[in-house]
Structures are given as C-alpha cells and as structure tokens.
C-alpha cells in the first residue's frame, strides 16, 4: 500500500483541549512567540466552546476550552488534563482520505463535512487514532479566511516577538507497554505509511529508564510520527509515567523546527520557558563525537542544547519540561543541518536529565 489515492500536504494544526483557553493562549504567545490569528467563542456564536488559533510561520495550534458542563471536551480534560486532542493533516481530498481510512478499518469521528462562511469553504473529516487522539483531514484550497469557517480574525491587541519557529518536525505518540507495534501496524494499514526509523531498548536504556520507538512516516516523509512504548528498566520508564498521568496513550511531545536554535532558545529562555538541563560533562567530548559544527560549544553548553549526527549531517535539539502540572505534554525545539535522525546519541544524557525530574516528582 505505497500509493495513496489522496495526498497529505503537511500538518495542518494541532488542537489542545485545556481548562482555560484564554490563559493557555497567552502562555504560548508570551513565552513561545505564537501570534493569535483567529478566535471562536460566545462573541462569534459558538455557545459550547471557545478556541484561540495561534500561528507561527507554518505552525498552527488551536487552544480549546468548553463553555458549559458535561461536554466531550470537559470529559477529555478530566481524564487527561490539558493535552492534544487532534493532530490534523492538510490533504488534497478530505472525503477520499476519510473513505480510504474507513475502508481499511479506521473508526470515524466526523464524516466528510462541508463547512463554509463568507471567506469560502473547507471540507473536513476525522478518524480515531491512539488513545482519545484523533486525526482531522482538512481540505482548504477553497478557503481564504484566517483559519477555518466559523473563526474570526483575532489578536490580543498587543504585538509580541516571534521566536523563529517554522514548522512541526514531528509529533510523538506514547503508548502503553505492548501497544507500540499494533499502533505502527495501524498507521501502515490505514494510511500506507512506512517505518522510517526504529530504536529499541538496548540502544537507549539507562540504568533506570527504557523505551522502544518506531518513527512512522507518510509517502513523502513530510509527516513523521514516532510511536513510543515503555521498556522494562530497574525503575519506572518516563513513558510509563506519561501513561499514568495522561490516563491513556496520547501525544507526548511536539517537535518544532527553527532555522536558528540558539536565537530561539535564548528568547524562549528569557520569556520563562523551562528547558531540561544538560550536564556540563556532555560538552567535554562533543566535537570528538559529532565532528566540527558551526555553533559555539560554550553557547550550546550555556543553553543546554544537544547535538547529534548521522551520515547526512547533524542536528541540534532541546526539550522543555512539561508545560502543565501533570508530567505529560512537552515541546522539543529542533534545528536540522542535514541530519534526519531522532537524536539517538542524545538519549542517554537526555534520559538522565528526565530521570532527575521524575525523582523530584516522586515517580521514579
Ligand atoms: Fe522528538
């Protein structure tokens, strides 16, 4: 199943269900440099939910809260805390994407639906994936408005500095133990995707924590979704900690790309984003391990930015701490300089840093 009867153009947006959309939107604006571009709520005739659309270059985040009791959104927040409900794809044919998926065994969340307003029309449909997460197929070539029909242009009335984030590099889904391969099989069967990269617990276990991961990618490899599961270690895997607090499988992190990671991380750090620390010893033999790089090592060490290399080049990456009280969703900032890797060389030092945090939370 390599040739698909429809094509995926990219990640359209990710929608988060949160307890307080207004304050969450403010956080993304003031710390990560997103700009509010669209809104729906009581003022636009949306009686049951409010959503803020935040944009930075090709990245769109939709932040949604319920406006009344006993809603699906409220139930989602009660089970998972704040988290990502929808990883939406832009497609050339939403009906075909939905129909193909359903024919291959996916469960429908939304049948193909035409929605329109004065700015044009879009076709959307959606299917279930792991946990309570969904994939919406957005067909938007006939739409000129700020986001989707029903949303109005919006800003908070103040400008803010961009942090230079460009697009969604990958979206990671954590699964309970034993569920990784079935979920990968699902992406293979429903979407015709392939295994782009894999890593097992022998590669990346530390003294305590271990995981297995398979990166699933679509035909043109624009979409990459690493699927993780916990592996046995001496103590609790960080993936198991996520599952315990999220309640089910779910999105663990969004990796956002930048063309200048040093500038992006400097600004985010100044704005109050907490990043996982990297021990100074990591940088002692860095050039020996990764070869010559353009960036100043002392600057990377000061900011805690990690470097990994493969046969095509290198990449720089750093991870935030969880961005809500539950140890669930976090962000990765990544700059690729040729490398398509997922930072295998960094897992060991990264896990040690995560384990320190787990220990402070009493979860190791
Ligand atoms: Fe990642």
pLDDT digits (tens, 9 = 90+) for 149-173: 999 998 777 778 899 999 999 999 9
- 230 alpha carbon to ligand 1 midpoint, in Å? 16
pTM of the model: 0.95
pLDDT digits (tens, 9 = 90+) for 303-345: 999 999 999 999 999 999 999 999 999 999 999 999 988 888 8
- 283 alpha carbon to ligand 1 midpoint, in Å? 20
- 147 alpha carbon to ligand 1 midpoint, in Å? 27
- 180 alpha carbon to ligand 1 midpoint, in Å? 16
Answer yes or no: same fold for 8-153 and 165-361: yes
- 57 alpha carbon to ligand 1 midpoint, in Å? 20
- 131 alpha carbon to ligand 1 midpoint, in Å? 19
Between 347 and 147, whose confidence is greater? 147
- 342 alpha carbon to ligand 1 midpoint, in Å? 6
Q: Residue 187 burial (CB < 10 Å; 0-12/13-18/19+)?
A: buried
- 270 alpha carbon to ligand 1 midpoint, in Å? 23
What one-character-per-residue DSSP string does 24-82 give?
HHHHHHHHH--EEEEEESGGGT--SEEEEEEEETTEEEEEEEESSSS-HHHHHHHHHSS
Q: Two tokens at 208?
A: 């305590």
- 268 alpha carbon to ligand 1 midpoint, in Å? 18
- 144 alpha carbon to ligand 1 midpoint, in Å? 32
Q: What is the distance between the alpha carbons of residues 262 and 295, in angstroms, rounded to a whole number? A: 9
Confidence band (pLDDT; 50, 70, 90) for 235?
Answer: confident
- 255 alpha carbon to ligand 1 midpoint, in Å? 5
Q: What percent of the chain has pLDDT over 90?
A: 80
Length of the chain as a residue count: 364
- 15 alpha carbon to ligand 1 midpoint, in Å? 18
Query: Which residue has tokens 């990994």?
Result: 308
The helix (H) or strand (E) run that includes residue 124 is: strand 120-128
- 172 alpha carbon to ligand 1 midpoint, in Å? 7
- 50 alpha carbon to ligand 1 midpoint, in Å? 29
- 170 alpha carbon to ligand 1 midpoint, in Å? 7
Residue 260 CA: distances (Å) to CA of 245, 312, 330: 33, 19, 20
Domain 165-361: CATH class, spelled out: alpha beta
- Chain centroid, CA 24 distance in Å: 16
Q: Provide the CATH topology of domain 8-153.
A: 2,3-Dihydroxybiphenyl 1,2-Dioxygenase; domain 1 (3.10.180)
Average pLDDT, the chain: 93
- 330 alpha carbon to ligand 1 midpoint, in Å? 10
CB atoms within 10 A of CB 306: 26
- 96 alpha carbon to ligand 1 midpoint, in Å? 30
- 332 alpha carbon to ligand 1 midpoint, in Å? 6
Confidence band (pLDDT; 50, 70, 90) for 299?
Answer: very high
- 307 alpha carbon to ligand 1 midpoint, in Å? 13
- 140 alpha carbon to ligand 1 midpoint, in Å? 28
- 319 alpha carbon to ligand 1 midpoint, in Å? 8
- 169 alpha carbon to ligand 1 midpoint, in Å? 8
Per-residue confidence (pLDDT) for residue 1, from 0 to 100: 46
pLDDT digits (tens, 9 = 90+) for 181-198: 999 999 999 999 999 988
Q: Give me the phi and psi of 101, to 5 degrees please.
A: -65, -45
Q: What is the distance between the alpha carbons of residues 346 and 10, in angstroms, rounded to a whole number? A: 27
- 155 alpha carbon to ligand 1 midpoint, in Å? 30
pLDDT digits (tens, 9 = 90+) for 53-105: 999 999 999 999 999 999 999 999 999 999 999 999 999 999 999 999 999 99
- 343 alpha carbon to ligand 1 midpoint, in Å? 8
Q: Two tokens at 214?
A: 């398979």
Taking Cα atoms as reference points, which of 105, 117, 284 lies closest to residue 187?
A: 105
Q: Which residues, other chains included, contact 285 with Cβ-Cβ below 8 Å and sequence gap of 6+? A: none
Is the pLDDT score of 27 beyond 90?
A: yes
Domain boundaries, the chain: 8-153, 165-361
Residues 300, 283 contacting (CB under 8 angstroms): yes
pLDDT digits (tens, 9 = 90+) for 1-17: 446 899 999 999 999 99
- 99 alpha carbon to ligand 1 midpoint, in Å? 30
């Amino acid at each position: 199943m390599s040739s698909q009867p429809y094509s995926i153009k990219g990640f359209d947006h990710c929608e988060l269900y949160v307890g307080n959309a207004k304050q969450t939107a403010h956080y993304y604006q003031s710390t990560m440099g997103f700009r509010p571009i669209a809104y729906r709520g009581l003022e636009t005739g949306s009686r049951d939910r409010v959503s803020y659309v935040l944009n930075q270059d090709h990245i769109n985040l939709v932040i949604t809260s319920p406006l009344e009791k006993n809603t699906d959104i409220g139930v989602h927040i009660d089970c998972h805390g704040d988290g990502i409900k929808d990883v939406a794809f832009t497609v050339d044919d939403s009906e075909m994407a939905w129909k193909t998926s359903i024919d291959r065994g996916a469960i429908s969340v939304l049948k193909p639906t035409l929605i329109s307003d004065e700015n044009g029309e879009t076709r959307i449909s959606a299917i279930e994936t792991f946990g309570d997460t969904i994939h919406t197929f957005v067909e938007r070539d006939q739409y000129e408005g700020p986001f989707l029909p029903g949303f109005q242009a919006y800003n908070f009335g103040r400008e803010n500095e961009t942090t230079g984030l460009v697009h969604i590099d990958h979206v990671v889904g954590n699964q309970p133990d034993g569920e990784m391969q079935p979920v990968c099989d699902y992406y293979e069967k429903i979407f015709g995707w392939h295994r782009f990269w894999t890593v097992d617990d022998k590669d990346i276990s530390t003294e305590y924590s271990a995981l297995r991961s398979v990166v699933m990618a679509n035909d043109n490899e624009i979409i990459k979704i690493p699927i993780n599961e916990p592996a046995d270690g001496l103590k609790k895997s960080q993936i198991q900690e996520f599952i315990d607090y999220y309640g089910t499988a779910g999105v663990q992190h969004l990796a956002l790309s930048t063309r200048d990671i040093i500038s992006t991380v400097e600004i985010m750090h100044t704005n109050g984003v907490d990043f996982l620390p990297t021990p100074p010893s990591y940088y002692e033999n860095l050039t020996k391990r990764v070869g010559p790089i353009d960036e100043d090592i002392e600057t990377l060490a000061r900011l805690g930015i990690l470097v990994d290399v493969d046969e095509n080049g290198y990449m720089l990456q750093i991870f935030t701490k969880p961005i809500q009280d539950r140890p669930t969703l976090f962000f990765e900032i990544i700059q690729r300089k040729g490398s398509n890797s997922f930072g295998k060389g960094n897992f060991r030092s990264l896990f040690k840093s995560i384990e320190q945090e787990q220990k402070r939370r009493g979860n190791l």
